[in-house]
Structures are given as structure tokens and as C-alpha cells.
Amino acid sequence: MAVSPAPYFTEDFSIRLDNLLFIVCEELQISGTRYRLAEERYHAIARYLEADGSPFNRYKPEIYPQGSMRLNTTVKPVKGPHDLDFVLQLSVHYELYRDPLKLINSLYEYMCQSGLYRLMTTKMNRCVRVEYKDDFYMDIVPACCNPDVPGTCLMVPDRQAKDWKDSNPKGYATWFDRKALVVASDGSAQIMAKAQPIPEQQAVAEKRPLQLAVQLFKRWRDVRYTDEPELGPISIVLTTLAADYYGGEGSVSQALNTVLRKIVGRIDEADAERRRVLVLNPTNGNEDLSERWDEYPERYTAFKAGIREFQRQWSTVLAKKGNVSTDLEKLFGEPVKKAYTMQAQRVQKDRSTSSLGISGSGMIVPATSSIPAVPRNTFYGEEK
Amino acid sequence: MAKRNKFFKQQPLPLAEQLRQMKLHWPEFSRSIDRSRVSWIGRLTPTEMSDTYTVRVTYTAPLRPVVEVISPELKGRPGERIPHTFPGKKLCLHLHEEWDAANTIIATTVVKWAALWLFFYEAWVITGKWEGGGHEPPTKRGG
């Protein structure tokens, strides 16, 4: 990939903003080291679950990531541990386990038989949680096949409901991937194509704008509801809404704009009809991913207020076309500082190698044959 | 080549030359002359994601040019003083020895350094760190 011109030289606000958001997303995602650690851990758990003597051994267990780990939309939590979700899929008809609780119980008991996992394992409503000391937990959802329905549908035990619940993590991931590959016909896909990532951002640059928009959306949620996290919309709701409304924009900032505008439109429609927004599982129209809003209407009120506010703030950022650093920091917090630091360090590095020029409008640009490098200078201190 | 007598002060670059260079490089800058003092006022936008600043460069040969930001006001960070400034928020763009009235062309140095300063200032406002390098003064005199 071409390295020149470097991204921060671009004389286009949208591309520059996108480049900054790339760095923010890079900062937000689980680090490479942590990702590899998570992989090692789930492979270790998978080996244990597949081992001779495992009650699941005969059901050809398959363990794989779901949710943000699978969709590549991980976001570091503002505080607290990083949770990653995995599925333990058994090739067995769910009806074989007459009692759904038997499945989750036997997973829990088997994990507790291990000297390694015994003290780390907790039984949750739909999963067994393995908690590591280094701010990391892995939720393992046990699942059986549902051959009555074509495709990749699974049944998972729900302890509260004492029943099976539909789930389709593979189907959802396929749906999300397909949405992420949508390309707008209006040429907006070109915006990001022009942006040249800096090497540290390669991993993020390979992501689709939808994945980046989901990361930013989730991060906004974590920051916006930091004092009342229970009011914040859950990740699957945000991810589904974002993917539903993503219009194939090539630019992450534009993608976010479209998604927010359309969600606000949907809230307005629902308000006018005196009902709430339903966020249905795209792979199972009977499943309302937003069902908790019925039980906790204050969360729906908080969602509506938050989304309207975010939409206003984001359209202000896009309209401003200038210095939006404090707006971005309010929305996404600490990683914005990191992004500005990295850009400033990059400018400083290029300045030290006499690669920078200043255009006629006082804008920092690459030095060329017609724009000479800025002569060296040393910013001095201050007089007391 | 004859050795330069260090006690011999070189004449500053003729003011007409500084004026000509400013006109050439920064045609949008307005200028006013008051006897030996000349001021230029113009706008600098360091990046597409920056504010546009109106700056004034005031020069009385052979002293170093004084650079101030007229608008928007440099608000800085609450409770912190802005790095690399003189009292009155005048920008501290270079070491004393980096200004040589006989050779330094304001248009191609000082004004451009001001644009870079503004870039690093904006990053400092959000990050609290000055990434543009530089020196802290060893004494009360700065340049």
C-alpha cells in the first residue's frame, strides 16, 4: 500500500476525521496481545471440553467466538473486565436434554472438576463464566442444535425462563458480514479508499466502516452512560441497529451519521405511533433483542434521549469542518487524546526530517519541489 | 574568505525585502507600517481539522518579530499556562540564535513556524502534552 501522502496531510476534513477515528478504533479494540491470550484460553478450554472423560466429548463439541470477538467490533471497557463470548456447540438435538438446565449445569460441574477452572467458574443465566485475574472473562454459552429449523439455529438454556431460547450466532455473524460489505452507489465509498492508513493502523484499516462505526457506537454508549451503565443500550441492540441502517458508506464518520439519522427517524415514527422501537434479531424475527425495554422503560427513555443527543452532536461535528477535538473527546473519551498525540508525533517526526512544508493558507503539507521544507526551528520556553 | 569580525554587526535585511517576501508568500496578509515598525495580519489554518487563526506579526528591525494570535483567543487548558509563549501569549517560536536579522526571511520562517506552533498548540489543548519539541529557558531571557 502506498505510504505517501501521509494521511494527516490530506486537505479534506472528512478523510482527516476518518483517519483520526481509525486511530480511536485501533485504541478501542482488544490489543493483539490480549486477543492472542483470549485465543489461547479458549483453545485450552476447547481442549478440556473435547478431552476423554468430558461429558461433551461424544457430541463433537465445537467452540467458537461470538459477538464482538467474531464481528471484530471489540471495545475496551471504560472500567471493569473485558468480556468475550464463546459458544460451545454440541452436535446433538436439544430435545435430548429434556431439561435445559441440565446442559448448563453439566458444563458448570465439568468446569469445576478442573483444578485450573474450579475457582474461576461462575454459573450465569445463559452461560458459564470463566473469570481470569487479569481483567478478563470468557462467557461460554452451551448450545444444542435445532435440526427442526433449517440453517444454523441453535437452542441455548435460559435458567431464569427454565427453558430453551433460540440463538443463531453463526447466522447473525453472516448477516452482519453481508451488511458490512454493502457498498453505496453514490460514490461515498470512495472517501475511505483515498485515506492512507499509517502502518500502526493496518489492522483497523482492513476493517469495514460498519465495524468501525459499531465500535464507536459502543464506545459512545460506554462513555455516555458511564455513571448509569444499566441504562445504556446493550451491544447487540446497537450492533443490529447500526448494521440495519448502514448504507454502504465508505467513510466511518458518514456511516455513523446515516445510522444515527435513521435511528432517530425510527424513534420519531415509533413515538408518533405511541409504541417503542423493536429491534428484532435479523436471523429470527420472533426474537426481540430489545425486550428488556418492556421491563425497564426508563432504559428506553434513556436510549431515546441518548441517541437524539448523539445524532445532534455528530451532525455538529460533521458540519463544523474544523477543530472538533473537544467534541470528539466528549463523545469517545480517552482514545481521542491518544489519536491526537499520535498525529502530533507523526507531524513532529516529519518536521525533524524536513519533510513538511506550509501551504499558502498556512496548512501543513508535505514538502515538494514547489513547497519547500520549513526551515528548522526550536520552540523555546517561556519567560516567567 | 575573510573571517567575519564578530564585533561587526551585519546590517539587517532591508525592510523592503521583508515586505516583498511577505507579499509574495502571504498575499492575503494585510500590512501596516508605522515608522520603523511593520505589522502584518493574516490567517493561518494548520490543518483541515484546525481552527483558523488570525495572527499578527510585528517587526521592528533588527529585533525578533513578535507573533500574536488575535483571534480566536488562545484559551489553553484550565489552570495551565500555554507552553512556548511569552507574557501576553506571544508565541515563542525559535531560539535566540535562530533569528538573524541579516538573513532570516520572516515570510518563509517565522510565519510558517507560527502555523506549526498552532498545530502543536491544538494538540496540547486536547492531550496536555506538547509534542512539538523545543527547549525550556535556562534563564529569564527567552527567544
Instruction: Write the pLDDT tens digit of every residue in B47-72.
Output: 999 999 999 999 999 999 999 999 99
Structural domain boundaries enclosing A316:
9-28+180-339
Asked if B141 has any chain A CB less than 8 Å from its own CB, the reply is yes
Here the cell at position A179 is 451488511
Asked, for residue A358, whether it belongs to a domain, the answer is no
Provide the number of structural domains found in chain A.
Answer: 2
Average pLDDT of chain A, as a whole number: 89
Asked if B122 has any chain A CB less than 8 Å from its own CB, the reply is yes
pLDDT at A9 over 80: no
Give CA–CA dist A289/A302, Å, rounded.
17
Query: Does one domain contain both A290 and A310?
Result: yes
Q: Which of B47, B120, B143 lies at the smallest CB-CB distance from A8?
A: B47
Asked, for residue A84, whether it belongs to a domain, the answer is yes
Q: What is the pLDDT of residues A138-153, one digit of tens each?
A: 999 999 998 888 888 8
How does residue A198 score in pLDDT terms, banded at 50, 70 and 90? very low
pLDDT at A180 over 90: yes
Asked, for residue A277, whether it belongs to a domain, the answer is yes
Tell me the nearest-neighbour CA distance from A262 into chain B, angstroms: 26
Query: Does one domain contain both A262 and A311?
Result: yes
Q: Which of A362, A375, A380 lies at the smallest CB-CB distance from B95?
A: A380
Determine the straight-line distance between the first and last CA of chain A, rounded to whole angstroms. Answer: 49
CATH of residue A134's domain is 3.30.460.90
pLDDT value, residue B135: 82
Asked, for residue B134, whether it belongs to a domain, the answer is no
Question: Could B131 and A347 be called an inter-chain contact, meaning their C-beta atoms sit closer than 8 Å?
Answer: yes
Question: Could A375 and B136 be called an inter-chain contact, meaning their C-beta atoms sit closer than 8 Å?
Answer: no
Asked if B75 has any chain A CB less than 8 Å from its own CB, the reply is no
The candidate with the shortest Cα–Cα distance to A153, out of A107, A89, A97, A95, is A89
pLDDT value, residue A360: 86
Question: Could B133 and A8 be called an inter-chain contact, meaning their C-beta atoms sit closer than 8 Å?
Answer: no
pLDDT value, residue A147: 86
Query: Does one domain contain both A103 and A136?
Result: yes
How many residues comprise chain A?
Answer: 384
Question: Could B112 and A360 be called an inter-chain contact, meaning their C-beta atoms sit closer than 8 Å?
Answer: no
Q: Which residues of B touch A381 (CB under 8 A)?
A: 83-84, 92, 134-137, 142
Query: Does one domain contain both A22 and A53?
Result: no
Structural domain boundaries enclosing B24:
15-73+81-124
Asked, for residue A66, whether it belongs to a domain, the answer is yes
pLDDT value, residue A284: 83
The candidate with the shortest Cα–Cα distance to B39, out of B11, B13, B14, B18, is B18
* Domain endpoint, select from A116, A149, A174: A174
Q: Which of B26, B46, B120 lies at the smallest CB-CB distance from A363?
A: B46
pLDDT value, residue A205: 60
Here the cell at position A18 is 476518518
Asked, for residue A133, whether it belongs to a domain, the answer is yes
Instruction: Tell me how many degrees the CA angle A167-A172-A175 measures, rounded to the nearest 5.
Output: 155
Percent of chain B having pLDDT more than 70? 88
How does residue B8 score in pLDDT terms, banded at 50, 70 and 90? low
Residue of B nearest to A357 (CA): B112
In a 13 Å sphere around the CA of A81, the CA atoms on its Cβ side amount to 15
Asked, for residue A53, whether it belongs to a domain, the answer is yes
Q: What is the pLDDT of residues B127-138, one digit of tens each?
A: 999 999 988 665
pLDDT value, residue A300: 98
Asked, for residue B57, whether it belongs to a domain, the answer is yes
Asked which of A123-127, A225-229, A284-288, B24-28 is least confident by mean pLDDT, the reply is: A284-288
Query: Does one domain contain both A154 and A210?
Result: no
Chosen for mutation from B119, B121, B130, B136 (greatest number of chain A CBs closer than 10 Å) is B119
pLDDT value, residue A95: 87
Provide the number of structural domains found in chain B.
Answer: 1
Collect all residues from A whose CB is shorter than 8 A from any CB in B. 8, 10-13, 16-17, 20, 321-326, 329, 336-337, 340-341, 343-345, 347-348, 351-352, 356, 358, 360-364, 372, 374-384
Region A248-271: mean pLDDT is 96
Q: Which of B51, B96, B113 lies at the smallest CB-CB distance from A322?
A: B51
Higher pLDDT pick, A129 / A147: A129
In a 13 Å sphere around the CA of B104, the CA atoms on its Cβ side amount to 24
Asked, for residue B141, whether it belongs to a domain, the answer is no
Region A93-113: mean pLDDT is 91
Asked if B25 has any chain A CB less than 8 Å from its own CB, the reply is yes
Asked, for residue A55, whether it belongs to a domain, the answer is yes
How does residue A4 score in pLDDT terms, banded at 50, 70 and 90? very low
Q: Which of B86, B122, B129 lies at the smallest CB-CB distance from A325?
A: B122
In a 13 Å sphere around the CA of B37, the CA atoms on its Cβ side amount to 9
Query: Does one domain contain both A64 and A207?
Result: no
Question: Could A344 and B136 be called an inter-chain contact, meaning their C-beta atoms sit closer than 8 Å?
Answer: no
Q: What is the pTM of this model?
A: 0.89
pLDDT at B141 over 50: no
CA-atom Rg of chain A in angstroms: 24
CA-atom Rg of chain B in angstroms: 16
Asked which of A87-91, A201-205, A282-286 is least confident by mean pLDDT, the reply is: A201-205
Q: Which of A348, A382, A384 lies at the smallest CB-CB distance from B131?
A: A348
Asked, for residue B129, whether it belongs to a domain, the answer is no
Query: Does one domain contain both A267 and A316?
Result: yes
How does residue B28 score in pLDDT terms, banded at 50, 70 and 90? very high
Query: Does one domain contain both A194 and A256?
Result: yes
- Close Cβ partners of A40 (under 8 Å, ≥ 6 residues apart): none
Q: What is the pLDDT of residues A330-380, one digit of tens each?
A: 999 999 999 999 999 999 999 999 999 999 889 999 998 889 999 999 998
Give CA–CA dist B63/B69, Å, rounded.
19
Asked which of A83-87, A268-272, B6-10 is least confident by mean pLDDT, the reply is: B6-10
Question: Could B48 and A364 be called an inter-chain contact, meaning their C-beta atoms sit closer than 8 Å?
Answer: no
pLDDT at A104 over 90: yes
pLDDT at A87 over 80: yes
Tell me the nearest-neighbour CA distance from A325 into chain B, angstroms: 7
Size of interface A-B (CB pairs under 8 A): 162
Which DSSP letter does residue A58 get? G
Q: What residues pair up with B67 in beta bridges, in sequence order?
A: B57
Chosen for mutation from B29, B127, B135 (greatest number of chain A CBs closer than 10 Å) is B127
At residue A166, φ and ψ (nearest 5 deg) are: -70, 145
Asked which of A46-50, A210-214, A218-222 is least confident by mean pLDDT, the reply is: A46-50
Q: Which of B49, B108, B118 lies at the smallest CB-CB distance from A324?
A: B49
